[in-house]
Amino acid sequence: MLQEFKEFAMRGNVLDMAIGIIIGAAFGKIITSFVNDILMPPVGLLLGKVDFSNLFINLSGQPYATLAEAQAAGAATINYGVFLNTVLDFIIVAFVIFLLVRQVNRLKREPEAPPAEPTTKECPYCLSTIPLKATRCPHCTSELKAA
């Protein structure tokens, strides 16, 4: 059983998938940091100095100034600002993956082959398809000029 597991784990697809998951997780952290630390502060500033990560709806009835304060008190909240940040994370990751897959597909496309030399022609008398080198049409028996 140990040998079977070793063979399974060492297959190319499993290793590729593991590497992809690890790189994807690291890439996700980078995008989260980009959204939270670089993108959202200027957007919040443009929208009237709003901190999106601190936007919430308090369901407990007690007033709380910040989300951290409400969470520390154990209040029920709907954290729609954090949700907006997460949605923006997803959109950016999905767009980058789309661009990556698009580029890989472009590289995988086989170059178009030049058009093949014709091997047949039409008989000028009966319009049948005949070999290019034919000197007599096999359908109507007309004599043809050599190609």
Range of the domain at 129: 116-147
One domain for residues 126 and 92: no
Helix and strand element counts for the chain (H, E) = 5, 4
CB neighbours of residue 46 within 10 Å: 9
- Total tally of structural domains belonging to the chain: 2
Q: Average pLDDT in the 13-31 region?
A: 81
Put simply, whether the predicted model's pTM sits higher than 0.95 gets the answer no
Evaluate whether 53 touches 82 at the Cβ level (below 8 Å): yes
Q: Is the pLDDT of residue 102 over 60?
A: yes
One domain for residues 37 and 78: yes
